[in-house]
Amino acid sequence: MKNQEKASISIMKILCVSIILILISGIGVMAVNTNLKDIKIILQNGYEMTVLTSKATINEILDENNIILNENQKTIPEETEEVKAGTIIKIVDKSYNEVQIAKVSEQGAETTLEELLNNYAPITEKIVVEQVEIPYETITKNSTGTNDDTENKVLQNGENGIKEVTYKVKYQNEVEIEKIQLSEKVIKEPVNKIVQVNKKITSRAGTTSRTTPSTVTTSSANGQIYKITAYCPCSKCCGKSNGITAMGTRATAGRTVAASSKFTFGTKLNINGRTYVVEDRGGAINGNKIDIFVNSHAEALAWGVRYLPVSVIN
């Protein structure tokens, strides 16, 4: 019985408090138009309360709400500051590093928050297709040197090709932060520029069948298949027989090869596993053709024509 009485008294108390609260908030609502403002107070333990106040400074608001700071506590913003409607007062430990939350409405802090958000900006990925020009190569062709005209002649004009490159691009805040190439596709092959260089002196002046014009193509030599022929110092192969290369060295079997000018003199080539040095040129030696120097015409004939992988040795 006693317990029941106690319970009913408690219920009465709660009702009374509720009614008072409703009245107060009613007055509050009515008074909003005057000077009252909504202030949120966050206590150190995380408890949040919203109060209506007409007071100007944080000190006064804390007093009004019977909130007493202990020695180790401070407020954000500072106790002496005036507050506007919507201000959040945070009660924190004095060691608390004042960051942004309580000061969002202040201008200086806004940038900090923005920066903070930037760091967490989501990364977006896009597949981007770009058209890229493929520059043409210039190939020089040594003429047989039968006339005195020393001017170079353009046999074919070069034209850039086009390739389509697909990238995966990562953006953060619309700023590109990573670009990975996924694939590329040649839309248009470049047309190589072919220049005929009239040289009176070439040790490998092509004659007979070697002078027949051929389709010229070039590309990097790494592991590419080249048409490999052989030549000796005889007049059939070289038009002369002094055995001096275009580079000025003495042609040596097992080392000397004639290659197009896309390989500078002295370039070391791995041809099917053996090392040779580009020391010579030849009228018909251009593009994907290489001529290997051998000691006798019989050996050159025996070699015939072979198609072998060639790569540059760095």
Considering only residues 169, 297, 309, 311, which one is a binding residue for Zn ion as defined by CB under 5 A? 297
| Contact between 230 and Zn ion per CB under 5 A | no
| Among 78-86, 165-173, 234-242, 280-288, the segment contacting Zn ion (CB under 5 A) | 234-242
CB of 249 to Zn ion, least distance (A): 18
- Comparing CB distances to Zn ion, the nearer of 61 and 291 is 291
- Comparing CB distances to Zn ion, the nearer of 139 and 230 is 230
Q: Rounded to whole angstroms, how far apart are CA atoms 67 and 39? A: 14
CB of 233 to Zn ion, least distance (A): 7
Interface size with Zn ion, residues (CB under 5 A): 6
| Contact between 234 and Zn ion per CB under 5 A | yes
- Comparing CB distances to Zn ion, the nearer of 90 and 289 is 289
Considering only residues 205, 232, 257, 290, which one is a binding residue for Zn ion as defined by CB under 5 A? 232
| Among 64-72, 138-146, 162-170, 297-305, the segment contacting Zn ion (CB under 5 A) | 297-305
**DSSP symbol at 139:** E
End-to-end CA gap in the chain? 103
CB of 146 to Zn ion, least distance (A): 20
CB of 308 to Zn ion, least distance (A): 20
- Comparing CB distances to Zn ion, the nearer of 199 and 240 is 240
| Among 42-50, 82-90, 228-236, 274-282, the segment contacting Zn ion (CB under 5 A) | 228-236
Binding mask 235-274 for Zn ion (x = CB under 5 A): -xx-------------------------------------
Q: Which residues contact Zn ion (rule: CB under 5 A)?
A: 232, 234, 236-237, 297, 300
